[in-house]
Amino acid sequence: MKTDRKGSFTFPGGVHPSDKKNLTADSKIQYGFTGKESAIMLCQHIGAVCQPLVSKSDEVEEGQKIGENEAFVSAPVHCPIKGKVKGIELRPHAVLGRSEAIIIEGDSEERARRPSEGEDVFGSAFDESQYTSEQICQAIREAGIVGMGGAGFPTAVKIGINAKQPKEVLIVNGCECEPYITCDYRIMLEWTYKILAGVRLAQKVSGCSKVLIAIEDNKPEAIEAMSEAISKLSMDGKIGIAAVKTKYPQGGERQLIKSVLKRNVPTGGIPPMIGVLVLNVATTAAIAEAVVEGTALTHRVVTVTGEGIKEPSNYYAAIGTSVEELIDFSGGLTEEAVEVILGGPMMGISIADLSTPITKTTGAITVLTREQIGEAKFSGRQTACIRCGRCLLACPENLNPTKIAHAVKNNMLDLAKKYYISGCMECGACSYVCPANIELTGYIKTGKILIAKEKKTNAE
Ligand code: SF4
Ligand code: SF4
């Protein structure tokens, strides 16, 4: 199939930051790395927090389920290494401050693990018809798969057939629009057939009649690899490729749907309301592993990158490995390193404690230098709003960031709600373009936290 590599699909708003993908785009995924211990967070998804199924000093096997919650919206957690439970302790968490984790001390001889990735398993020999929808759904649930693009919503809940909201179109998100990050790009090149096997399983279980894999046009090799594999599997006409324009945040669910299908997800709504299911490419690969190999989500590909890292690369790392160990594995920090971010520079969260473990949704560790952050932003120097309107033009959700931020700053939360603070996806595009260095996204995030606290207090 000949696929147009030039992206013709786009959405209103957005920005064009330097993508910085060159630091790791050619770095093949490195396998066999696991930290000295794994700290498995009991909360790494949207929904009910897991309860531990193991106790201190228990012997555990690789892939063993060690935490779960029977609530409908939840996902179990599993042990990535054979070893012993050292304890259940609080560990630093980028969003929650500190959160409970099961600490596993690994058996050094048993740490390395490689996924099977041959075309014989996921390529021409793969046939989704040998699995029933129930089997697929059950395998996804048992494997603890969640949205690996960052959302962390349990995939089994998202993917199943819902008679009230039938799904028609499956969009597989291969955009990876955040600067610096290349983990999804690498798996599109190296796990192409595994992704396609997951896509076919996801299509079967969701009941979607149409499938599109959306990839930004700054990744022509990924577009080529996917197109070739689709042709080799004789799936032309069944799975399409949509080359989308390179623009941030093209990978946002709502922006991607607008770009590819020219349809709007209602404000405050979710894609299934308009018959659309969006899955990240890494999530589809995890689906294939869970269904075909019966493996739980215990490892993921993480990009360790930025000008503050000596040897940036991509790693297939055990979930629960600390940021510090992954940075050490990448040669350590450069002398100029000043900020460590869990995620990318636009939507990621700065962390001060490097013992923070990676979770199912950690796609990258980005370390920036003073030069990358920018002198003015580094010194925190803000000036008054000059009413240039750039933040309004950049906002992909058609919001007025400056008005929302102003309302939050003056503790007028009702006004912030009227300006639709809840519609903000926290993409950071407004802060990025602001010439006055106003941390608009920071104010908005704070406003959301204050509104949630207010709601909780009113409910008590
Ligand atoms: S207001 Fe929210 S959605 Fe709009 S640009 Fe700012 S962070 Fe992004
Ligand atoms: S971009 Fe900054 S200076 Fe311009 S209107 Fe928005 S808040 Fe004001």
In terms of domains, do 261 and 146 share one? yes
CATH number of the domain to which 432 belongs: 1.10.1060.10
Dihedral pair phi/psi, residue 111, rounded to 5°: -70, -45
Bridge-based pairing of strands 77-78 and 65-68 is antiparallel
pLDDT digits (tens, 9 = 90+) for 241-260: 999 999 999 999 999 999 99
Bridge-based pairing of strands 59-60 and 83-93 is antiparallel
In terms of domains, do 263 and 119 share one? yes
**CA nearest ligand 1 atom 1, residue:** 401
**What is this structure's pTM?**
0.92
In terms of domains, do 276 and 390 share one? no
Q: What average pLDDT does the segment 166-186 reach?
A: 96
pLDDT at 333 over 90: yes
**CA nearest ligand 2 atom 6, residue:** 391
CA 426–ligand 1 middle distance (angstroms): 5
Q: Which residue has the tokens 């996804």?
A: 140
CA 253–ligand 1 middle distance (angstroms): 14
Computed from CA positions of residues 417, 265, 247, 230, in that sequence, does the dihedral angle turn out positive or negative?
Answer: positive
On whether the CB atoms of residues 1 and 280 are closer than 8 A, the answer is: no
**CA nearest ligand 2 atom 4, residue:** 388
The CA distance from 70 to 156, in Å, is 13
Number of domains in the chain: 2
In terms of domains, do 240 and 121 share one? yes
Identify the band that residue 355 occupies on the pLDDT scale cut at 50, 70 and 90. very high
**CA nearest ligand 1 atom 5, residue:** 395
Establish if 253 belongs to a structural domain: yes
Per-residue pLDDT, 1: 45
Average pLDDT of the chain to the nearest whole number: 91
In terms of domains, do 272 and 130 share one? yes
Higher-scoring residue by pLDDT: 163, 271: 271
In terms of domains, do 273 and 410 share one? no
In terms of domains, do 384 and 288 share one? no
pLDDT at 397 over 70: yes
CA 46–ligand 1 middle distance (angstroms): 21
Establish if 38 belongs to a structural domain: no
Establish if 206 belongs to a structural domain: yes
In terms of domains, do 250 and 134 share one? yes
Per-residue pLDDT, 109: 53
pLDDT digits (tens, 9 = 90+) for 45-65: 888 999 999 999 999 999 999
In terms of domains, do 128 and 243 share one? yes
In terms of domains, do 267 and 414 share one? no
Helix, strand, or coil (residue 398):
coil
CATH number of the domain to which 196 belongs: 3.40.50.11540
- Least confident span in 101-110, 356-365, 403-412: 101-110
C-beta 440 within 6 A of ligand 1: yes
| Beta-ladder partners of 169 | 210, 276
Mutation choice for ligand 2 from 382, 383, 386, CB with most ligand atoms inside 8 A = 386
Where is the domain boundary, 252, 272, 293? 293
| Beta-ladder partners of 322 | 357
pLDDT at 379 over 70: no
The CA distance from 253 to 394, in Å, is 17
Per-residue pLDDT, 7: 67
C-beta 425 within 6 A of ligand 1: yes
Q: What average pLDDT does the segment 309-328 reach?
A: 95
Per-residue pLDDT, 373: 81
Establish if 416 belongs to a structural domain: yes
Q: What average pLDDT does the segment 341-361 reach?
A: 94
Establish if 148 belongs to a structural domain: yes
The CA distance from 48 to 118, in Å, is 36
* Domain encompassing residue 187: 21-25+115-293
Establish if 41 belongs to a structural domain: no
Percent of the chain with pLDDT over 90: 78
Q: What is the Cα gyration radius of the chain? A: 22
Where is the domain boundary, 293, 319, 346? 293
The CA distance from 425 to 395, in Å, is 10
Establish if 125 belongs to a structural domain: yes
pLDDT digits (tens, 9 = 90+) for 82-92: 899 999 999 99
Q: Which among 110, 35, 107, 19 has a CA at the least distance from the CA of 327?
A: 35
Amino acid letter, residue 31: Y
pLDDT at 173 over 50: yes
Establish if 59 belongs to a structural domain: no
On whether the CB atoms of residues 283 and 198 are closer than 8 A, the answer is: yes
Q: Which atom of ligand 2 is nearest to the CA of 388?
A: 4
In terms of domains, do 283 and 410 share one? no
Mutation choice for ligand 2 from 403, 437, 438, 440, CB with most ligand atoms inside 8 A = 438
Where is the domain boundary, 275, 293, 311? 293
pLDDT at 439 over 70: yes
Percent of the chain with pLDDT over 70: 94
In terms of domains, do 239 and 386 share one? no
**Which of left, alpha, beta for 9 (phi over 0: left; psi -120 to 50: alpha)?**
beta
